[in-house]
Structure 1
Amino acid sequence: MAEWTVRKASLWQDAVRLLLLLDAAVEPIDGDAAAPAGAVGVVHTQVRLQKLDFWVRNPDYLANELLNDYEADPESPGLVDEAERILALQEPDLRRFPMLRHRFGAFEQLDNAMSVLVEKGLARKRHRIGGARILQHDYYLQDQGRVTAASLVTEAPALVWYVERTRTVVNLVNGVGGTRIKERQYLQRDYADTPIGSYIPAITEHVRARLIALRQASATEAGLTEVAR
């Protein structure tokens, strides 16, 4: 993908998306001594936040993962329907903001967007130090951040999409750490084979073909079941 074709978000878009993602993804503080006053939840590790953000920014990869979960457990409700909805609404074209492939997978610097949230008292970032280096970044949603996230959606109903998609992403890997999410994303060949420093390409047509094949297989199975009765 040539760099001049890449669609990039504004700082405001990045900050709003990050706020809504934090609102969906934070876990309870549970006696975290490092939590700042007023924090209502935390996302542990930059890896986890980056990987969740990748699926929000790349709906075709999210749809692909929904199909993966369906194939692993065909009894799971709604997975194929949700993947089909993502494609039918053209989300991979309209909502996609590509990310670069770095050494440890999809990555984009979060500091600028995070600084907007910090400045307005909506979120905080804390470092866990070990010796002379940073071991972990933790991202805290403040009470005012939760209130602002709700008010933003009320004032701009178009942002409901981000609420829905961030929840879909979080539910996909509920309770799974950042490293395991990273490993899961590397199972997608187009993602893993992207050269370091290049934008991770779209896989929309691949996902569309998978969806058609699954729908056809389901229809065939239903037809055979009816004949057998």
Structure 2
Amino acid sequence: MTVSGEVRRASRWQDAVRLLLLINASAQPVPPHLVGPAGAVGVVRTQVRLQKLDFWLRYPDYLAYELMNEYEAAPEETNLLDLAEDILSTDEPDLRRFPMLRHRFGAFEELNEGLAPLVEKGLVSKDQVLGESRVSEHIYYLLARGREVANDLAAQAPALQWYVARTRLLVAMVDGLGGTQLKNRQYLLKDYADTTIGQHIAPITDQARARLVQLRTAAANRSEEN
């Protein structure tokens, strides 16, 4: 949200660039059994996975909270707390937030508007797997030109380095998890799950910062005891 209470929205260009960098970071090698378009150098399978990754990119405070969850599961990985603090000790949660609506299956925003320029320019290709009565899977292919443009953007526009760093962090954090698993993880946070359908998901910055202080204090106490 903005100070005036209006919802802050990304421009079509911002959506396209964010999605291109996210797809570039998260795309996996195209498996032999999947018949992709000519020039495909990677693939992101399922709309759910792309939506859930995009949510964490658009809500840095939720990403920091998830990093703290990872830390509690593996307290020896103190760098996870450092990464969370990197996010929460700055204005990043406010400056980088682009709110998403809560739908039946969690955070959602139609991707077609942001993907359209990427498809038109031959950077990304979309495909669908049809079920008996509806689309059962959305597939997003990163094309060779898309990878080239993504890498050029990151090199030529210093302001985009934040997206490069955050998309890499996201991919490392969720390595091996599918879209449904990511959706279930996001629902574990009550603030997210309790958002009324059709309403924008609210930030949790203050809550995340308070939790970071608690975890830092607990870690310091353990260190003193040892």
Instruction: Kindly provide the amino acid, as one letter, of the partner of residue 143 in structure 2.
Output: Q
Please give the secondary structure, in 2, of the residue aligned with 1:89.
Answer: coil
Instruction: Kindly provide the amino acid, as one letter, of the partner of residue 117 in structure 1.
Output: L
What is residue 94 of structure 1 aligned with on the other side? 95
What is residue 124 of structure 1 aligned with on the other side? 125
Percent of aligned pairs sharing the same letter: 58
Please give the secondary structure, in 2, of the residue aligned with 1:124.
Answer: strand
Give ranges in structure 2 of 5+ residues lacking alignment.
Answer: none
Please give the secondary structure, in 2, of the residue aligned with 1:5.
Answer: coil
Instruction: Kindly provide the amino acid, as one letter, of the partner of residue 126 in structure 1.
Output: D
Between the aligned partners of 1:204 and 1:42, the Cα distance in structure 2 is 33
Give ranges in structure 1 of 5+ residues lacking alignment.
Answer: none
Tell me the matched-pair count. Answer: 225
Please give the secondary structure, in 2, of the residue aligned with 1:216.
Answer: helix
Q: Could you tell me whether the CA contact under 8 Å between 1:128 and 1:135 is conserved in 2?
A: yes
What is residue 190 of structure 1 aligned with on the other side? 191
Instruction: Kindly provide the amino acid, as one letter, of the partner of residue 79 in structure 1.
Output: L
What is residue 222 of structure 1 aligned with on the other side? 223
Between the aligned partners of 1:32 and 1:19, the Cα distance in structure 2 is 24
The reply to whether residue 135 of structure 1 matches residue 136 of structure 2 is yes
Q: Could you tell me whether the CA contact under 8 Å between 1:126 and 1:139 is conserved in 2?
A: yes
Between the aligned partners of 1:124 and 1:7, the Cα distance in structure 2 is 28
Instruction: Kindly provide the amino acid, as one letter, of the partner of residue 214 in structure 1.
Output: L
What is residue 46 of structure 2 aligned with on the other side? 45
Measured against aligned partners, the alpha-carbon deviations of 1:67-113 in whole angstroms (never above 9, x if no partner) come to 00100110124100000000112210110001000000000000011
Instruction: Kindly provide the amino acid, as one letter, of the partner of residue 183 in structure 1.
Output: N
Please give the secondary structure, in 1, of the residue aligned with 2:177.
Answer: coil
Between the aligned partners of 1:69 and 1:36, the Cα distance in structure 2 is 37
Please give the residue correspondences for 1:165-184 in structure 2 after superposition, counting only pairs within 5 Å.
165-184=166-185
Moved more, 191-200 or 67-76: 67-76
Instruction: Kindly provide the amino acid, as one letter, of the partner of residue 67 in structure 1.
Output: M
Instruction: Kindly provide the amino acid, as one letter, of the partner of residue 191 in structure 1.
Output: Y
- Give the TM-score normalised by the residue count of structure 1: 0.95
Between the aligned partners of 2:81 and 2:48, the Cα distance in structure 1 is 27
Instruction: Kindly provide the amino acid, as one letter, of the partner of residue 50 in structure 1.
Output: Q
Moved more, 6-15 or 132-141: 132-141
Q: Could you tell me whether the CA contact under 8 Å between 1:14 and 1:113 is conserved in 2?
A: yes
- Give the TM-score normalised by the residue count of structure 2: 0.96
What is residue 82 of structure 2 aligned with on the other side? 81
Instruction: Kindly provide the amino acid, as one letter, of the partner of residue 197 in structure 2.
Output: I
Between the aligned partners of 1:77 and 1:170, the Cα distance in structure 2 is 19
CA RMSD of aligned residues (A): 1.4
Measured against aligned partners, the alpha-carbon deviations of 1:136-161 in whole angstroms (never above 9, x if no partner) come to 10001000000000111122111010
Please give the residue correspondences for 1:13-28 in structure 2 after superposition, counting only pairs within 5 Å.
13-28=14-29
Between the aligned partners of 1:99 and 1:32, the Cα distance in structure 2 is 34
Q: Could you tell me whether the CA contact under 8 Å between 1:86 and 1:92 is conserved in 2?
A: yes
Q: Could you tell me how far 1:193 is from its partner in structure 2?
A: 0.1
